[in-house]
Amino acid sequence: MNARGPAADRLPGPDGLPALAVTAAEAARARELAVRHGMVHEHPVDLREPVIATVERTAAERDRPAVADRARALSYAELAGEARRLATLLEESGVTPGTVVGVGGERCAAVIAAFLAIELVGALYVPADETWPAARVRDVLAQAGAPVLLAVDAGATAPALLEGAAAAGCRVVRAEAAARCAPWRGEPRLESLDQPRYVLFTSGSTGRPKGAVVEHQGMVNHLYAKILDLGLTGADAVAQTAPLGFDISVWQMLAPLLVGGRVDVVGDDVGHDSHAFARAVDERGITVVELVPTMVRHLLDDLADAPAGSLGGLRWMIATGEELPAELSRRWLAAMPHARLLNAYGPTECSDDVTHHTVTAADLELLRLPIGTPVANTALYVLRQDEDGSWTACDAGETGELFVGGVCVGRGYLGDLERTRAAFYRDPFAATPTGRLYRTGDAVRLLPAGAGGEDRPTLQYLGRVDRQVKISGVRMELGEIEAVLQRHPAVGAAAVVVHEYPASPGRRGEDSVNRP
């Protein structure tokens, strides 16, 4: 492992991961099926250049607007300059390569500059959202081992951030203090492509957050996957709408900067008001927006009486974070035919999205929409666990659990080898840059070519594997029942649960039966 610094000995490597219970013959078959069905996507991407290097090259070649928030706008040169001053401030605060640096506050241009500064000095970024309670801030910063919290707010820092940082023994440094600093000199510190780049904490089933570690190569690959599949160019402006603790915030902040585009930071005051949000999209020339389906629904509901041409410049609406219902997709395609709808799926542990699917009218005939095919340099395997605990590859039309391989797979959970070993395996299917395979815990069906209008196989999300139940000996997916109910025009949302009743006295000795 090439990482250096305080976090280095807390980052698991592939050698410490368990082997997946699969025979050599079955591993070869799984790989052959994945390749045949288009579940392996190889694409040349240059992963060597840090984002800050691209930003500075753009500034030198032709400076242009880079990022704007409600308070200010920065060109590429101004963004790079601020990042280098922040890098000096971080070094003065004791940050060295491999140090985990907390970044706390509201979404703003300074967060992007802070990320680039952390990249410059070879440290790791971990966000702390201003809306979190103090206990969450404390847990995240303490588990990450962050000695410094960089507060980016121009005004007063949220009390919960300060309280949580103090409880974690974390020194608070204000980003505005960088104004007195000279720009940091030197090349970005990138020792290797597997160098850890950031840590994002996801919710754990035990209530204790898990710090997913993403490497430089996985992050940069995902940025270019978004650029490739969305066709991003210097003419695009991406809305940065995600809270800092969400993985999608990373690509929203950085991908546009790799093509000379613009990041437009949208605060909650605008993002939670559909009419204000639509005006912002139109007035600022935003071309790409990503929202959870619930917010897409609210947007369509509230814009029913909006002026004609609202969101007229939008090229893409990306739906993520929740299952995208076919009924909602039908409404979007009818109301916004000029803006394509992308269904995106992916876990934080794999550098964000691992599949993309552009929704078409043909998809609406399916019970559940496809989540698509793998993004660049990602391999997807649909496996079924047999009674003896071994794994078998699924063919087209079959249902199994989704495993992810490729450059996107992250390092594991910071300082938590036990939970890392429960979700990450040594990849038995192919030699990959990470050598790791991630078990998603999600049930999927490999749809054959022709389903939903696709000319190649695609994946359909069915829900969590732990939501599969057996009723009278028949395996059933609760998510599929919910999808059927939601197709009825009178049903806005549905949730299905199973109640288990004890066997009646007259059925003693028989298995109890689950009844609705």
pLDDT of res. 480: 52
pLDDT class of 506 with cuts at 50, 70, 90:
very low
pLDDT of res. 515: 27
- Residue 446 pairs with which residues in a beta bridge? 459
Q: Per residue in 99-147, pLDDT tens?
A: 999 999 999 999 999 999 999 999 999 999 999 999 999 999 999 999 9
Residue 481 pLDDT more than 60?
A: yes
Residue 417 pLDDT more than 70?
A: yes
Taking the CA atoms of residue 336, residue 339, residue 345 and residue 349 in that order, the dihedral angle to the nearest 10 degrees is -130
Residue 155 pLDDT more than 90?
A: no
Spatial CB neighbours of 490, under 8 Å, sequence gap ≥ 6: none
What gap in Å lies between CA 515 and CA 139, rounded to an integer? 41
pLDDT of res. 473: 32
Residue 257 backbone dihedrals phi, psi, to 5 degrees: -70, -20
pLDDT of res. 499: 61
Q: Per residue in 63-101, pLDDT tens?
A: 999 999 999 999 999 999 999 999 999 999 999 999 999
Percent over 90 (pLDDT), the chain: 80
pLDDT of res. 512: 28
Sketch the domain layout of the chain as residue ranges. 469-515
pLDDT of res. 514: 28
What gap in Å lies between CA 137 and CA 102, rounded to an integer? 10
Q: Per residue in 435-452, pLDDT tens?
A: 999 999 999 999 998 876
Residue 309 pLDDT more than 90?
A: no
Count, residues in the chain? 516
pLDDT class of 306 with cuts at 50, 70, 90:
confident
pLDDT of res. 496: 78
Please give the angle made by the CA atoms of 172, 176 and 181, to the nearest 5 degrees.
100
User: Rounded to two decimals, what is the model's pTM?
Assistant: 0.89
The answer for 372, left when phi > 0, alpha when psi is -120 to 50, beta otherwise, is left
